[in-house]
Homo-oligomer: A and B are copies of this chain.
Amino acid sequence: MRGVIQYGVRDIRVEDRPDPRILTPGDAVVRVVAACVCGSDLWGYRGLRDPGPPHPIGHELIGIVEQVGDAVTVVKPGDFVISPFSFSDGSCQACRHGMTSACDHVAYFGSNDPDGLPVDGAQGERTRIPMAESTLVPVPGPIDDALIPGLLTLSDVMSTGHHAAVSGGVGPDTTVVVVGDGAVGLCAVLAAARLGAPRIIAMSRHADRQQLALAFGATDIVEERGDEGVAAVKALLGGELADVALEAVGTAESMRQALGSVRGGGRIGYVGVPAGGPKLPVGYLFDRNITVGGGMAPARTYIPELLPDVLAGRIDPGRVFDLQIPLEEAAEGYAAMDERRAIKALLWP
């Protein structure tokens, strides 16, 4: 099969790889229908994080089950499935509380499963899914092709945007500032609107992203950053600050922006992978009584909750894919996102 390998900084190649097969009774092998490039893939691509030795990459996919191990009962060959970006056992304490991303046996694409066996990247034609019974979510067919981008976002970005909103306690009584206009930030806007937030201020400097934020339910756009950004938020809110800020970048600067945007007793829902930041100034949190929650999204828990809204067309998070290209052109997907020519790139195997 063909699969994407990250060789190093700005070095993405598509290569022949061995076809995956069932290695444990809990496995499934899935043929990938659509995969995509994540903003977090760009940290290593840009060299902001050590990309390490060459490795298969990608952690978002939807696909068709081809084979299952003897212990797998919830899906069967031919089923259309969404895979969350992390694998979880479904039985540990964190999983039983729905926090599948903090599973005791959490495992990831492009790494090893709890048995030490390698797992392929999601950016490929096929992949083995360990702990398939407690990881994969089947989607009742037939699947309208137009829904594929939206279903694919449930694997990560839409679930992650939703996690920001849930962690921030967004609801019908909360004003919201969203810091970050990448695919996750835009999905956080959509999630906040879905949860009924009456006022959603998206911080964005890019016209195309501003438009999508407005389409997703943002009521206001703020282009300024730093203290000027906070002042602009205040101007929009009649001199007050937001109840909640959703942080979807992962830098010290973006966390500072989020912290400065919320009132005393407010909340931060953060989902930006902390790369080189963010720092949490405890004295400020203490004095302002700001609650900080979030982290890696428990996508496995959220997919069944969000799926009906995608299938029914009530939300269309697939609009974050403004570039759709063949898997063979994966390198262009990375480059386009790196250069901000694309919000998010969908890869067709």
Q: Contact residues of A with B, CB < 8 Å?
A: 93-94, 97-99, 101-104, 167, 240-241, 243, 263-265, 267, 270, 273-274, 277-280, 282-283, 285-296, 298
Contacts and interface: CB of A to CB of B under 8 A. Distances in A.
Contact of A274 (B99, B270, B282, B294): B282
A101 B282 contact: no
Nearest to A271: B286
A295 B101 CA distance: 27
A286 B294 contact: yes
Contact of A291 (B241, B277, B292, B296): B292
B293 A102 contact: no
Given A279-B282, A280-B280, A282-B274, A289 B101 contact: yes
A167 B102 CA distance: 21
A291 B294 CA distance: 7
A99 B285 CA distance: 13
Contacts of A298: 265, 289
Given A274-B283, A287-B102, A97 B294 contact: no
Contacts of A290: 295
Given A99-B265, A264-B99, A291-B167, A93 B286 contact: no
B294 A292 contact: no
Number of identical protomers: 2
Nearest to A167: B291
A7 to B, nearest CB: 26
A97 B277 CA distance: 30
A98 B265 contact: yes
Contact of A265 (B97, B267, B273, B283): B97
Contacts of A277: 282
A285 B282 CA distance: 14
Residue among A98, A264, A291 with the highest chain B CB neighbour number at 10 A: A264
Given A93-B263, A264-B93, A265-B99, A291 B291 contact: yes
A101 B288 CA distance: 8
A181 B55 CA distance: 50
A138 B99 CA distance: 44
A283 to B, nearest CB: 6
Nearest to A273: B286
A221 to B, nearest CB: 22
27 contacts: A93-B241, A93-B264, A97-B264, A99-B265, A101-B289, A102-B263, A102-B264, A102-B265, A102-B288, A102-B289, A104-B264, A267-B293, A274-B282, A274-B286, A277-B282, A280-B280, A280-B282, A285-B295, A286-B294, A288-B295, A289-B293, A289-B295, A291-B291, A291-B292, A291-B293, A292-B292, A292-B293
